[in-house]
């Protein structure tokens, strides 16, 4: 049965955050560690559902176990009836199923560890089969049970049979966690081990016959696990939506975010997208933005969507006004405003505000703004904001309204952690100080870092924050003073590449937001077929079609940058001019060829980044040669608008002291769109 979308006003939600795990040990000695961000993620999602979607309390159930980070924590601070134990999880699913009415949108959200255990259902999965599961917080108790995939499939099937318009979001992984060196503050939500120990096999979900009948009806033949990439275990596979944090061979990570605390990478960007409250947001567009944003931090974590990509999120997000913030005091002489919001609302230094007059009929219309401000001194519930720009002659008075248009700025400067011991440490530290050029610097001991460097084996290696080697980083460099300088030059290049990739317009109310759509279809695709998922799979040398649609009400000036696997950034379109134009409501298409891969690389991600502006803009400042090649001469062009000033800052030989994706980024007159291509070289290929 396919439910008719009813809109978020009828949403029901079961939100689970399993952060604290009682002491536990699997037979091989491994254990599920507590996660600092899992319960916080659940509360953030619950707050969004409760406060922004205005879902009544009786339609929202939260199970959570908070890891406080205090040594020797004995138990979660929540009451035991709200802990995510097996019994409480099954009970919550059962109550939710009984309450659901035909057409109700239903959200199931889980943040915590994913686990794997020897199957309790060999008759369904063969004797050596594996059950993938959600891991309850008390799994250390030998009598505790996993919520296994066979049971979860049955619970979800019952919701669909009741008529639920079902969305399942899993910020966890099932392929297992890492045994390699993670940067401090980066954790994996899963284990790379299979629990071979004895566990109770009796299920509270149903009899073995009931569970077996549902599994045989739903599961893809031959599957032995959940299968987040195929959704083979989902009930009525065309009806529910599954959004998973990563592919089956990848890991779901949590880390610390500036001004946010610990949280899952998927959940952070999920909420960042949903808070835009775009009524036209579809699951496909949500997935594409999540992939792009998650890949800015962890290229080997790719969110997966199973289900109809063109369906509206939660049956259709409501068109709500952004909550207004009261201006308590207007100190125009010192160009500052005291606003009634602060850390309690998760506002951080640098948060961008648009100011409207008291009683403004709409705080979504950019034309009604009196000015812009930037949070300078955040307090607990009141904060001072610096007035950065005013529009027109009307003064900003006490009682004016402020609305958040962009979160606090992101640092351009990238942190580098040195891992290991030896004389090379001093060599790299000195080189970072002398040659970091403001783009990279050494991380403090407990500070999150985007890159790691090791000198193991007498040669330098650059690692990502999760401990995986950065791909295509050039010929090996032996440890040494001269080589340390070359290593830092590579780090500067990587930092600049990452920043170019991350550029977007954070103004949530820009009239161009989400108005430029870029799609890629391989040559020979069926006309009218749904757009390919992101990243779009292509072989080196394949022809493909890039289409850009202008859904705004204005003619736009556009350019396309190609961010290549060899860490090169080049303007792809147009080749000879600064930009090309697309009129309102029109589209343009090009036939292109998938670029080559670096030598020795058999698969990599290639990015097409579309910039759209209302005024002609130049992009040469952003171009980079391949990693390891001599830097191109700096552009001598003089920037003529704030966006070009940002590009010029990124292209400068030395990054300015105030190293932020700055307040000049928010604006009404530009936007971006990104398409990812997963390029693969055929075995024996030479391209």
Q: For 72-104, write each residue's pLDDT tens digit.
A: 899 999 999 999 999 999 999 999 999 999 989
Most confident among 156-165, 404-413, 499-508, 614-623 (mean pLDDT): 156-165
Q: List the structure tokens of 269.
A: 């960007």
CATH entry, 325-406, from 2.60.120, 2.40.10, 3.30.300, 1.10.10: 2.40.10
Q: In 120-227, which ranges are E strands?
A: 130-134, 147-148, 165-171, 187-188
Amino acid 116: pLDDT:
87
pLDDT tens, residue by residue, 588-645:
999 999 978 988 888 888 999 999 998 888 888 889 999 988 766 555 567 777 677 7
Amino acid 479: pLDDT:
93
In the block, residue with structure tokens 């003619």? 555
pLDDT tens, residue by residue, 306-347:
888 888 888 766 555 556 889 999 999 999 999 998 876 767
Give the separation between CA 396 and CA 390, rounded to whole angstroms: 9
Amino acid 270: pLDDT:
93
Amino acid 665: pLDDT:
47
Query: Is the pLDDT assigned to residue 238 strictly greater than 80?
Result: no
- Residues 320 and 279: beta-carbon distance below 8 Å: no
pLDDT interval class at 130 (50, 70, 90) = confident
Eight-state DSSP code of residue 181: P
Query: Is the pLDDT assigned to residue 551 strictly greater than 80?
Result: yes
Q: Using alpha carbons, select from 567, 570, 524 the residue that is nearest to residue 543.
A: 524
pLDDT interval class at 209 (50, 70, 90) = very high
* Per-residue H/E/C for 50-110: HHHCCCCHHHEEEEEECCCCCCCCCCCCCCHHHCCCHHHHHHHHHHHHHHCCCCCEEEEEE
Q: What is the torsional sign of CA 290, 294, 295, 299? A: negative
Query: Is the pLDDT assigned to residue 423 strictly greater than 70?
Result: yes
pLDDT interval class at 396 (50, 70, 90) = very high
Question: What would the DSSP string read from start to end of 407-418?
Answer: -SPPBSSEEEEE
Least confident of 245-249, 424-428, 676-680: 245-249
Mean pLDDT of 442-460: 88
Give kind and range of the element (H or E) at residue 560.
Answer: strand 556-563
Give the separation between CA 312 and CA 285, rounded to whole angstroms: 10
Mean pLDDT of 567-572: 93
Classify domain 8-315 by CATH number: 3.40.50.1460
- Which is more confidently placed, 367 or 423? 423
pLDDT tens, residue by residue, 193-205:
788 888 888 999 9
Query: Do 8-315 and 414-500 come out as alike in CATH topology?
Result: yes
Amino acid 409: pLDDT:
55
Query: Mean pLDDT in the chain?
Result: 83
Most confident among 55-64, 120-129, 267-276, 296-305 (mean pLDDT): 55-64
Percent over 90 (pLDDT), the chain:
41
Query: Is the pLDDT assigned to residue 4 strictly greater than 50?
Result: no
Contacts with 182 (C-beta within 8 Å, 6 or more apart), sequence order: 188, 465, 466, 467
Classify domain 414-500 by CATH number: 3.40.50
pLDDT interval class at 556 (50, 70, 90) = very high
Buried/exposed code over 180-209 (b: 16+ C-beta within 10 A; e: otherwise): eebbbbbbbbbbebbbeeebeeebebbeee
Q: How many residues in total does the chain contain?
A: 687
Query: Is the pLDDT assigned to residue 288 strictly greater than 50?
Result: yes
pLDDT interval class at 215 (50, 70, 90) = confident
- Residues 149 and 205: beta-carbon distance below 8 Å: no
The fold of 503-680 is Immunoglobulin-like (2.60.40)
Eight-state DSSP code of residue 48: I
Amino acid 660: pLDDT:
45
Least confident of 272-281, 284-293, 429-438: 272-281
For the chain, the domains span: 8-315, 325-406, 414-500, 503-680
Amino acid 644: pLDDT:
77
Question: What would the DSSP string read from start to end of 188-205?
Answer: ESB-SS-B-S------SS
């Amino acid at each position: 049965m396919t439910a008719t979308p009813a809109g978020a006003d009828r949403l029901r939600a079961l939100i689970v955050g399993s952060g604290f795990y009682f002491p536990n040990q699997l037979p091989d000695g491994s254990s599920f560690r507590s996660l600092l961000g899992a319960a916080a993620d659940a509360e953030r999602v619950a707050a969004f559902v409760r406060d922004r979607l205005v879902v009544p309390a009786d339609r929202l159930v939260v199970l959570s176990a908070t890891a406080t980070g205090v040594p020797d924590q004995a138990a979660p601070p929540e009451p035991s009836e709200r802990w995510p134990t097996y019994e409480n999880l099954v009970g919550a699913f059962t109550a939710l199923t009984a309450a659901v009415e035909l057409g109700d949108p239903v959200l199931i959200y889980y943040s915590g560890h994913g686990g794997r255990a020897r199957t309790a259902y060999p008759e369904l999965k063969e004797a050596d089969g594996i059950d993938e599961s959600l891991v309850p917080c008390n799994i250390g108790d030998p009598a505790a049970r996993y919520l296994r995939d066979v049971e979860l499939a049955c619970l979800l099937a019952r919701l669909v049979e009741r008529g639920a318009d079902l969305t399942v979001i899993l910020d966890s992984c099932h392929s297992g966690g890492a045994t390699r060196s993670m940067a401090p503050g980066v954790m994996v939500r899963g284990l790379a081990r299979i629990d071979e120990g004895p566990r109770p096999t009796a299920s509270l979900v149903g009899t073995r016959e009931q569970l077996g009948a549902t599994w045989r009806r739903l599961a893809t033949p031959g599957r032995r696990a959940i299968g987040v990439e195929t959704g083979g275990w989902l009930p009525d596979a065309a009806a529910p939506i599954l959004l998973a944090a990563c592919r089956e061979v990848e890991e779901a990570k949590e880390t610390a975010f500036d001004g946010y605390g610990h949280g899952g990478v998927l959940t952070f960007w999920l909420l960042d997208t949903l808070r835009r409250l775009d009524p036209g947001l579809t699951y496909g567009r949500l997935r594409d933005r999540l992939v792009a944003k998650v890949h800015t931090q962890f290229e080997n974590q790719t969110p997966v969507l199973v289900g109809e990509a063109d369906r509206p999120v939660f049956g259709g997000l409501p068109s709500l006004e952004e909550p207004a913030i009261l201006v308590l005091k207007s100190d125009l002489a010192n160009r500052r405003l005291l606003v009634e919001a602060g850390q309690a609302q998760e506002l951080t230094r640098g948060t961008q505000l648009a100011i409207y007059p008291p009683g403004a009929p709409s705080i979504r219309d950019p034309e009604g703004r009196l000015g812009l401000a930037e949070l300078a001194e955040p307090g607990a519930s009141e904060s001072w904001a610096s007035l950065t720009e005013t529009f027109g002659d009307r003064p900003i008075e006490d009682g004016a309204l402020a609305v958040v248009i962009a979160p606090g700025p992101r640092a351009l400067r990238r942190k580098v952690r040195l891992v290991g011991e030896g004389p090379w440490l001093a060599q790299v530290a000195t080189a970072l100080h002398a040659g970091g050029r403001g783009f990279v610097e050494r991380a403090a001991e407990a500070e999150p870092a985007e890159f790691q460097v090791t000198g193991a084996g007498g040669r330098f290696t650059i690692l990502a924050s999760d401990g995986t080697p950065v791909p295509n980083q050039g010929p090996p460099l032996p440890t040494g003073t001269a080589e340390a300088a070359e290593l830092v030059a590579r780090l500067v290049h990587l930092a600049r590449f990452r920043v170019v990739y991350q550029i977007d317009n954070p103004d949530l109310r820009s009239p161009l937001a989400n108005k430029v759509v870029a799609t890629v279809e391989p040559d020979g695709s069926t006309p009218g077929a749904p757009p390919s998922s992101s990243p779009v799979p292509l072989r080196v040398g394949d022809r493909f079609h890039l289409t850009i649609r202008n859904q705004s009400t204005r003619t736009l000036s556009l350019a396309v940058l190609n961010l290549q696997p060899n860490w090169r950034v080049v303007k792809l379109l147009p080749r000879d001019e600064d930009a090309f134009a697309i009129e309102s409501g029109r589209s343009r298409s090009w036939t292109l060829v998938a670029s080559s891969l670096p030598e020795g690389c058999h698969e990599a991600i290639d990015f097409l980044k579309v910039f759209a502006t209302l005024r002609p803009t130049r992009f040469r400042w952003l171009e980079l040669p391949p990693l390891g090649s001599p830097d191109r001469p700096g552009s001598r062009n003089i920037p003529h608008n704030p966006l070009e000033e940002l590009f010029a800052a990124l292209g400068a030989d030395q990054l300015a002291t105030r190293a932020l994706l700055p307040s000049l980024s928010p604006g009404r007159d530009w936007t971006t769109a990104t398409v990812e291509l997963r390029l693969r070289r055929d075995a024996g290929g030479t391209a």
